[in-house]
Amino acid sequence: MNWRSMWAILAGVLVAVVVTTLIDIALHVVGVFPPLKEPLTDGLALVASSYRTVIGIACAWLTARLAPRDPMRHAMILGGLGAVVALIGVVATWSLGLGPRWYPISLVVLALPQSWAGGKLFERQTNASASNDGGRPTSG
């Protein structure tokens, strides 16, 4: 794996961590989420799962966009890393009472499908752009 490949994946990881953390903090500050030591309800965990899924798709798209070649492979590597990190989160938080146990499990389960969706979205955009350009590769 070359530096551009590693950068593409690292960029997806960094954007995911920064954006989800900022949204989490904002939702705590404005009072949508309870204070940090209080557990999330099922409804709030569903909200968190929802925006994390959208962010995951966007980050996989970014990773695919930055990949020097084989964008779907890069997006799926990002998803694999996300699944591993989420699984570590399941184990680390299982008995802490931070909210419904399905929530961290959902992050593991959704990591690969959302990365596939982000990679597929990039591929479709790229193919549509190439079709509109008469098959010529686009710059960027």
What is the pLDDT confidence band of residue 140, given thresholds at 50, 70 and 90? Answer: very low
Residue 116: DSSP 8-state? H
77 phi and psi, to 5 degrees? -65, -45
Closest CA to 8 of 63, 68, 45: 63
- Average pLDDT, integer, range 14-41: 95
Do 75 and 63 touch, CB atoms closer than 8 A?
Answer: yes
What is the pLDDT confidence band of residue 137, given thresholds at 50, 70 and 90? Answer: low
Domain parsing of the chain, residue ranges: 3-130
pTM assigned to the model = 0.89
Q: Does the pLDDT value for residue 121 go beyond 70? A: yes
- Average pLDDT, integer, range 52-76: 97
Choice between 121 and 129, residue whose per-residue pLDDT is larger: 121
Residue 98: the pLDDT is 85
